[in-house]
Structure 1
Amino acid sequence: MKAQREDMCTQLLERYNAEGETFLQRILTGDESWVLYYDSECKAQSMEYRHKTSPSPRKFKVVASARKVLITIFLDMEGVVHMEFLEKGQTVNFERYISTPRALKVRLRRVRCDKDSFLQHDNARPHTSRQTQDALLELTTLPHPAYSLDLAPSDYYLFPQLRKYLKSHHYDNDEAVIADVRRWCRGQSSEFFADGVRQLVKR
């Protein structure tokens, strides 16, 4: 496993050393993540200024909401290329995931028609099934070592930033969650997304 990771990372670094930022600009990366209707504040967010003689505030145990929405986001250095949300009652299986690369290719032709992108995503079973690979034939897939979320910009950068924003927000339905996720993504600059992809080099 370690040798495989080192070999794949070496391949990517060699491409970067040869092509520089041009190589990074062609990387298209994405993954899925759950977004909760409500997630309690983290410790840093719940801190408040108090005088040293003030009594400690009462803390109530808050259970994270069981209601949630699965989001799928693909991005490159310019921003979000494709985003979709799992409909109620569906699960991410081979059949469901096949529709994602198909929709992604349509979206790429629309918003990145002048770019030849390299797809980078992890080795989850729906991603590596024969059906999914057939659907991705028009896209060049970069090597990605198994169990390496730390090498996917969506996982080490985008989703943590999104969750930080969503912390302590309350939502009543899927539509409210989806609208806020879309609003947040639209509010990020291209430099925000570029920074996330550039961090891949050090990783």
Structure 2
Amino acid sequence: MSEKKQEKGHNSTSFDQWLQRYGWEILPHPAHSPDLAPSDFHLFGPLKRHLGGMAFEIEDDLISELRNWFDNLDVDFVRVGINSLLSRWQKCIDLHGDYVEK
């Protein structure tokens, strides 16, 4: 991966600030529980269904579609994902970082 792609995007800082403004703490990801990534269990399924059957001639078209999808996420969709993540994190804490079933 190129160095440029590894940098945080311009929106990630504002998202971090948004989380902090509303009292959310950004926690480190437990290395032995990859199933706890919010993107794995809540975002990728719906995103995959949304993109299913689409073809993109150029990368910019894909990026535009992704931005559009993320910009239009329903607040309740995000809330459900966060609430589900919280209970899964608690299970991970209770299991001292071991694998958490989905």
Structure 2 length as normaliser, TM-score?
Answer: 0.64
Letter of the aligned partner of 1:118 in structure 2?
E
Q: Structure 1 residues 92, 158: CA separation in 2 closer, same or farther (over 3 Å shift)? A: farther
Structure 1 unmatched ranges of 5 or more: 1-90, 120-141
Structure 2 stretches of 5 or more lacking a match? 89-102
Relative distance call for 1:198 and 1:180 in structure 2 (3 A) is same
Bigger RCO (CA 8 Å, 6+ sep): 2
The structure where strand makes up a greater share of residues is 1
Is 1:161 aligned with 2:43?
no
CA RMSD of aligned residues (A): 2.9
Q: Which runs of 4+ in 1 moved over 6 A?
A: none
Query: Does structure 2 retain, via aligned residues, the 8 Å contact 1:171–1:177?
Result: yes
Q: Classify 1:92/1:197 alpha carbon distance in 2 versus 1 (closer, same or farther; 3 Å).
A: farther
1:185 Cα offset (Å): 1.6
Match of 2:95 in 1: none
* Paired letter, 1:199: S
Partner secondary structure for residue 21 of structure 2: coil
Identity rate, percent: 26
Q: Which has the larger radius of gyration?
A: 1
> How many residues are aligned here?
88
* Residues 187 and 103 (structure 1), Cα distance of their counterparts in 2 relative to 1, 3 Å cut: closer
Q: Corresponding residue for 2:36?
A: 151
The structure that is helix-richer by fraction is 2
Instruction: Give 1:114's aligned amino acid.
Output: R
